[in-house]
Amino acid sequence: MGLHLALFIFLASLCSTLSKHVEHGSIQVDGAQAIAEIDDNFICATMDWWPHDKCDYNYCSWGYASVTNLDLSHPLLTKAIQALKPLRIRIGGSLQDRVMYDVGSLKSPCHPFQKTEGELFGFSKGCLHMNRWDELNHFFNQTGAMLTFGLNALCGRNKVSETIWEGDWDPSNAKDLINYTISKRYKVDSWEFGNELSGKGIGASVDAAQYGKDLKNLKQTLNTLYQNSKFKPSLIAPGGFYEKEWFDKLLQASGSGTVDVLSHHIYNLGPGSDDESLENKILDPEYLSGVESIFRNVAESIQKNGPWSSAWVGEAGGAYNSGGRYVSNTFVDSFWYLDQLGIASKYNTKVYCRQTLIGGNYGLLNTTTFTPNPDYYRQVYALLWHQLMGKSVLAASNDASSPFLRTYAHCSKGRDGITLLLINFSNRNRFILTVGGGENVSSGINEDAKSIRVEKSFSYRLKRTFSWVGRKGSDITFREEYHLTAKDYNLRSQTMMLNGIPLELSNDGEIPTMTPVQSNVHSRISIAPLSIAFIVYPDFDAPACNGRKKH
């Protein structure tokens, strides 16, 4: 009763402060069958190579967060990753294809990255020393992280124009690194080949047929080196921006069974230079919907040309060039990010890697203090998505006349029922919602992006609600609610409120407990303006979720 009263008071205060308009509607969830499935470790974060003197728009946001110099002994870093266990970490980024590995038969000197005019991205080649590789692997083992490592795919090639590189890839340095890794019994879950070399490329590009040929070579090398190992890592490529013709050709050229994962990058918000423009895009659901065509086309490329592969988002930071200085590390950045997680899930995207764990303006952790930025609390499995959203994705839609309400549904993780993710982009509308089940719910994938319209009378909504909530004889009469808002209703705040309480580390650096409030399962849901909510129905009768408690 106390928790219910606390939620009532919290929502009432929000409504009186923010709400100018109330809109009633209903949510329909089809629990009969799943429309897609994500991996258990869907949530992923990246670590980048950028040195401290990487600057954008006259601001240097990376500090000492590079793969080569990040303080792995910092207790907050360890606690953050352990709280997300098992968190996938992808090591990669723009300078990935300029990294040499100081091992084996490497003939050339192995020096740190240095600013060098005329070189790719304005930096010289860099070096990964094996003592640092040892430190990284011990750290990942200690924290329980799963590692995806991006290999240098330009090694041995020749630059023939401003952006085009030709010639066969030289695998010798990569082979020595992999051999060393195996000899040390380090577990790299997957090796990724190249970074943003697809299509026109970002700074450099490689022809798809040549890329496919090199991937076949790398796959054969991995099969040979790991032939006596019980564990076989996956091969991921190309880690670039999706261009249909190039991606289709890559899958065709590399052949059946070569590419285990087709990875692509998304920075759909544009550059991080204009904070106002960035915030407007983030709060515009119509603009955010534009990214759906990318997920749809990637899925089609796999279906037609490489059904043995699965889709990953290997890197996504919203705004490129290190993100927006006053936006990407604040509460408002949550809206595009969670919306994109929901969209990606609907198209069978198995893994989604957020740029970055730490570094730049878009890091989940503050580069200087290592304390969590707002996105950390929603992005990471162990905190909300990981605790609540299971593998199976369900079709969900709403009949609100406003386009500012987003609705996503998954089978709940580790227990019966479903979990809803609701996002209210409106700065004036508060939504009062009932929830029902139905077989003809739009998935939003093969249909126009329009909500199913249902009869809006209160008696109809009430009938639909009571028709599915809870199984016969069930004692569960409550649902769990996690309402997320910005502190003081300031979208640029770096403090997030969970059910009206600030999310902050404890004095000894522990991640706060994510405690829900409980509401009567038959009552209507209230979603305040500019807020996000996870709603858990423990006894929603969804056949698609039966027997999925482990997921």
Per-residue pLDDT of the chain (551 residues; tens, 9 = 90+): 555 545 544 555 554 444 469 999 999 999 999 999 999 999 999 999 999 999 999 999 999 999 999 999 999 999 889 888 889 999 999 999 999 999 999 988 999 999 999 999 999 999 999 999 999 999 999 999 999 999 999 999 999 999 999 999 999 999 999 999 999 999 999 999 999 999 999 999 999 999 999 999 999 999 999 999 989 999 999 999 999 999 999 999 999 999 999 999 999 999 999 999 999 999 999 999 999 999 999 999 999 999 999 999 999 999 999 999 999 999 999 999 999 999 999 999 999 999 999 999 999 899 998 988 876 654 444 578 888 999 999 999 999 999 999 999 999 999 999 999 999 999 999 999 999 985 556 666 644 333 323 333 333 333 333 334 555 446 789 999 999 999 999 999 988 899 999 988 788 777 788 899 999 999 999 999 999 999 999 999 999 998 755 44
CATH fold for domain 38-391:
TIM Barrel (3.20.20)
Catalytic residue among 196, 279, 480, 481: 196
pTM: 0.91
Is 196 catalytic? The answer is: yes
pLDDT at 306: 98
| DSSP assignment of 234-256 | EEEEEEEE--HHHHHHHHHHH-T
Catalytic residue among 279, 315, 480, 481: 315
pLDDT at 335: 94
Contacts of 2 (CB under 8 A, 6+ apart): none
Nearest-angstrom CA–CA distance, 550 and 322: 37
Is 481 catalytic? The answer is: no
Residues forming a β-bridge with 535: 420, 481
Structure tokens at 277: 């423009």
pLDDT at 20: 64
pLDDT at 449: 31
pLDDT at 442: 63
- Whose CA is closest to 424, among 22, 12, 30? 22
Nearest-angstrom CA–CA distance, 181 and 187: 8
pLDDT at 380: 40
Structure tokens at 90: 């992808």
CB atoms within 10 A of CB 7: 19
Q: Residues 451-460: contacts with CB within 8 Å, 24+ apart?
A: 451/397, 451/398, 451/399, 451/400, 452/28, 452/397, 452/399, 453/399, 454/26, 454/28, 454/399, 456/24, 456/25, 456/26, 456/399
Contacts of 180 (CB under 8 A, 6+ apart): 103, 104, 130, 133
Nearest-angstrom CA–CA distance, 270 and 191: 28
Contacts of 161 (CB under 8 A, 6+ apart): none
Contacts of 231 (CB under 8 A, 6+ apart): 187
Q: Which amino acid is at 390?
A: G
Q: What phi and psi, each to the nearest 5 degrees, are found at residue 408?
A: -130, 150
pLDDT at 429: 95
CB atoms within 10 A of CB 451: 20
Q: What phi and psi, each to the nearest 5 degrees, are found at residue 216?
A: -60, -40
Please give the helix or strand (H or E) that residue 486 lies within, else none. Answer: strand 478-486
pLDDT at 535: 97
pLDDT at 455: 34
Residues forming a β-bridge with 25: 433
Cβ atoms of 132 and 68 closer than 8 Å? yes
